[in-house]
Chain A
Amino acid sequence: MTNAIEAQGLVKIYPARRGSSEVRALDGVDLAVPEGTILGLLGPNGAGKTTTVRILTTLLRPDGGSARVAGFDVVKQAQNVRRAIGLSGQYAAVDENLTGWENLYMFGRLYEIPKAEAKKRADELLEQFNLSDAGGRPVKTYSGGMRRRLDLAGALTGRPNLLFLDEPTTGLDPRSRLGMWDVIRDLVREGTTLLLTTQYLEEADELADTIAVVDTGKIIAQGTADELKAQVGGERIEVVVSDRKAVDQALELLKGVFGHDDVDMDAHTRRLTGSSSGGAQQLVEVVRVLGEDGISIDDVALRRPTLDDVFLTLTGHHTEDVDTEGSVG
């Protein structure tokens, strides 16, 4: 299988400014995305996700390394790359004062589509994205979710084989987010190669074949969602015991359920955490053994790993600790 995206050792340095030293936004990023697959670029703000996308879509020149997109060099053959790709950004880059239809027609014309066909394409896309009724209204009257759908439709006007979505659901309410996921899934079913960035492990898990975790300009882990979760330790069961005196007793009981080394205890918050491989069944088991010994509990939950857990495991720091300066541009 050929790679739709290939990058070796991408480096991007933002020069020092008053009060801040230079920022190595990318510090040697390697990527390989086979045709027809979805790569999720996962990381907190400022990790270098957007910078990577901007280099791969020819908006930014790398200071080091090289990348080929759709077989073309992103620096030397930028115009060929632009013909092959679609980009939808973090904020909806559509003209607020034009109608939805006018925006799509304009993008179509700029993708070198002849007039008559560009008109047809605009109608088609509005239909596909459920915007036909709003197509004649200026975009400034649209909701956030509608704008985002129009932005995505704009990225598709040229029928690209390769799509870049930079945080497609950031800032959307949960319902619009689910709607967006459906739209993205449909696209991919048609064989489009997709690179998507996200701050949410859940989203990468839901949409991507492969996930690359980015932190401070480097890719620190890559694999399927399951592989990553296995590294993180998968699901966990958390119990908060009501009585501090019962914590030690509970710890012994849980060691019986999870195995000797797989339980952590925080006596101060009366919280016990076990690495679970048995899911809901194991949760029932935990409640049962504690109940049999008469230990009352305030809270019990099955926790799936979050991006924060992935980070904590892979880097030893929480996502909030990451310097956000790299998000420039």
Chain B
Amino acid sequence: MSALQAGPLSDAMVITWRNLKRIPRIPELAIFAILQSIMFVLLFAFVFGGAIPLPDGGDYKEFLMPGIFAQTIAFASATTAIGMAEDMSKGLIDRFRSLPMARSAVLAGRTVADTIYQAGILVVLMLAGLVVGWRVNNGFAQFVLAVILLLAFAHVMAWIGIWIGLSVPNTETAQQLTFVTIFPLTFVSNVFVPPSSLPAILQPIAEWNPVSTLTAATRELFGNPNPYVGDGFPSQYPILVTIGWMVVLLAVFAPMAIRKYRDASK
């Protein structure tokens, strides 16, 4: 059958094209996503940063930027959730489901497009980082590995976003829900402060938190200050633990997202 020749890949590419086309048409979304991150950079680099000493010394701005990247990537799920909830409420999902296209294409196209979108945002943030004094102190290969890790994480977050977007009744709820879950996740972490400064109860959470491990992994790869909590496994092997998190999160959320999509109009 023709499903084999044209197939899921072509359909997914069409949906990716559609989602990328939308980005410049709604410039507010990208602008506010970047502004929010830059606001955090400015607040912490120049307002609070002076009061946050790093245990082993080192430059706070270099410490901060990988955390900002990870935080921004974690918020990627909101973009996806809102987009998905919007497609659902506008009836576009019904339209797609009535077409002879691969069922996987809507989700694959959305997650790929959103990952590309996050790559664009990451480029802007890295440039902003260089302006405020962030530097990459390790080699090119490690830099590339860090970027791959960030984008792979963005992709996983997009799948979580799909599940959220299809589970909520409207775009407002999608936005609120992702914000109330992601904000604590990025604060009970090593993003803004050395984890050793957190209350003792929160330290294990901050240590295992995927946003922390992603931050620690990229700090290590970029050669930025990376104060550890202790000798815990995530502190010792942040790259490994981050990859583990991604595998687990994808294994849990992708099937849930696919099931939600399949039953979308019951």
Contact = CB atoms under 8 A, between A and B. Distances in A.
Contacts of A138: 25
Contacts of B128: none
A112 B22 contact: no
B2 to A, nearest CB: 6
B90 A91 contact: yes
A97 B265 contact: no
**Majority secondary structure of chain A interface residues (helix, strand, loop or mixed):** loop
Interface centre among B14, B95, B105, B266 (most CB of A within 10 A): B95
Q: How large is the interface on A (under 10, 10 to 19, 20 to 34, 35 or more residues)?
A: 20 to 34
B90 A82 contact: no
A93 B91 contact: yes
B22 A87 contact: no
B95 A93 contact: yes
B94 A59 contact: yes
A102 interface: yes
A96 to B, nearest CB: 7
Interface residue tally on B, bucketed by range: 20 to 34
Interface stretch (A103-111, A197-205, A258-266, A295-303): A103-111
B94 A93 contact: yes
B21 interface: yes
A95 interface: yes
Nearest to B2: A112
B20 to A, nearest CB: 11
Contacts of B25: 97-98, 138
A106 to B, nearest CB: 5
A83 B100 contact: yes
Given A79-B3, A98-B22, A329-B265, A93 B101 contact: no
Nearest to B97: A59
B220 interface: no
A194 B91 CA distance: 21
A73 to B, nearest CB: 15
A103 to B, nearest CB: 9
A89 B93 CA distance: 12
A97 B26 contact: yes
Contacts of B18: 95, 98, 102, 106
A196 to B, nearest CB: 16
A60 B11 contact: no
A79 B2 CA distance: 11
B97 to A, nearest CB: 6
Contacts of B96: 110
Given A91-B90, A97-B22, A98-B22, A60 B98 contact: no
B10 interface: yes
B101 A89 contact: no
A82 B105 CA distance: 15
A54 interface: yes
A176 to B, nearest CB: 19
Interface string A90-124: 11111111100010001101111000000000000
Interface of B: 2-3, 6, 10-11, 14, 17-18, 21-22, 25-26, 90-92, 94-101, 105, 265-266
